[in-house]
Amino acid sequence: MGKTIHHFQTIDSTNSKAYQLALDGAEEGEAVVAESQEKGRGRLGRPWYSPPSLNLYLSVILRPRIPPREASLLTLMAAVATAEAVEEVSGLVPLIKWPNDILLGGRKVAGLLNEIHSGTDRIHFVILGIGVNLNMDGKLFSREIRNVATSLRKEMGRAVSRKVFLQTLLQKLEAWYEIFLKEGAPPVLKAWRDRAQIKGRPLRVTSSGETLTGIAVDIDSNGNLMIMTEDGRQKRILAGDVEYDPK
């Protein structure tokens, strides 16, 4: 992965660029990296703050020969690879928070936005979009996210090399992608569960405008969150936001 890197000083979104390159025939493993994004995209239609030359904004093109229903495993796999890269570079142990946020000290240091282009029975390509706050100063975060976001530099007390981080992340992604293609879901699910420690956590979930409070049971093999609500109902959550230990 990353044998070909398309590098931009600034771009609307590395995911949009990678999507276009993939439509135009770019090969598996080609990556897009930008110094800044003008329309960096986060989950659930949110913006992803992308100031220049401090962080990592990466999108990688994959062309896996798997059915579309298995695509969510690639998101879990990419979250595990990102957590491993954060750990290797910082020496700190991150937590994966459902669905795929990477936390250090309870604050978000990286997020993933994966996009799929598929037919009924075949994936044409998947874009793994990964944003990692590397050298961002805490003061640069907007007031709304200052208490919930962090950067490697903030947690480590020193700057990190963006090149070294990118190399480490691409290596981890490649290693995990090979494991997934050879062995399927089990090792990916195990590594995700080990790093997420989700079972039994009290949480509040906001999904499609509905808020539920309960206990996390597990994730299913598609990465959906299963919870037991306060009134004893089992619920499966496909997309949403989670708050741990709500008051």
Binding residues for ligand BTN, per CB under 6 A? 13-15, 37, 40-43, 46, 48, 57-59, 101, 111-113, 129-131
**Residue type at position 130:** I
Choose between 99 and 214: whose C-beta lies nearer to ligand BTN.
Answer: 99
Q: How far is the CB of 98 from ligand BTN (least distance, A)?
A: 12
Q: What are phi and psi of 241, to 5 degrees?
A: -120, 145
Note the Cα 105 to chain centre separation in Å. Answer: 17
Q: How far is the CB of 10 from ligand BTN (least distance, A)?
A: 12
Q: Which residues contact 44 (CB under 8 A, 6 or more apart)?
A: 239, 241
Choose between 14 and 72: whose C-beta lies nearer to ligand BTN.
Answer: 14
Q: How far apart are CA 124 and CA 134, in angstroms?
A: 32
Q: How far is the CB of 40 from ligand BTN (least distance, A)?
A: 4
Residue nearest ligand BTN, Cβ-based: 111
Choose between 50 and 90: whose C-beta lies nearer to ligand BTN.
Answer: 50
Q: How far is the CB of 20 from ligand BTN (least distance, A)?
A: 13
Q: Is 127 exposed, middle or buried (0-12, 13-18, 19+ CB in 10 A)?
A: buried
